[in-house]
Amino acid sequence: MPERREISAWAVADLVAHLGRLAYGFGFTEGLTPAQWTALRYLSRANRFSRTVSAFAEFHATTRGTASQTIHGLVDRNYLRRTRSATDGRSARLDLTEKAREVLERDPLQVLVRAVNGVSPAARANLATSLERLVAEVAHESGRRPFGSCSACQHLEGGERCLDGAGSCTCRLLGEALDVTETKQLCVQFEPAR
């Protein structure tokens, strides 16, 4: 049996930060910046309530002005389509265009995805759980909102039946019906289930 390796919290934090820097460096491809790649990835995974400049700013841990500049560049280059809200004329939903979907197929983050795929399923599950906890703790300590999916949110009404597609899903907070596919997407209104 291999000997269990002891590693300090500082060393782990440094590894996580270094991995983030490496992944950030992959982002200067296809004529896009790392922030633009992050926006495209985020918007490809966000539910309809979370595909806004403000939600992206929260997710990206940046100012609304900086996020707005990033989004503006993507709209101008036809990666995103901005649709004004029918209920609130001030806000707009952001949707990926076909051009964005095509470029995401060549996402430079695939290098990291391949590395993660090289880890056993059990180790990958443990890593995901640990990273989710770290993200939640750091978000909490820095006064930022955690992001997650409806499937793990306290606002989800319908439980396992709706997640299995056998019943209806509703967001209690927003009073909106959810499609089962939306329950797997990122949401800015996420509150971890207790």
Mean pLDDT of 161-184: 88
pLDDT at 3: 67
Dump strand ranges (E) for 15-150: 80-84, 92-96, 148-149
Q: Residue 158's closest CA among 186, 189, 150, 147?
A: 150
Residue 157, classed as helix, strand or coil, is strand
pTM of the model: 0.88
> What share of the chain has pLDDT > 70, as a percent?
97
For 125, the token pair is 């599950």
With 0-12 / 13-18 / 19 or more C-beta atoms within 10 angstroms meaning exposed / middle / buried, residue 165 is exposed
pLDDT per position as a tens digit, 91-109: 899 999 999 999 999 999 9
pLDDT per position as a tens digit, 129-160: 899 889 889 988 998 888 889 888 899 998 78
From residue 164, give the alpha-carbon distance in Å to each of 128, 169, 182, 183.
Answer: 22, 10, 13, 10
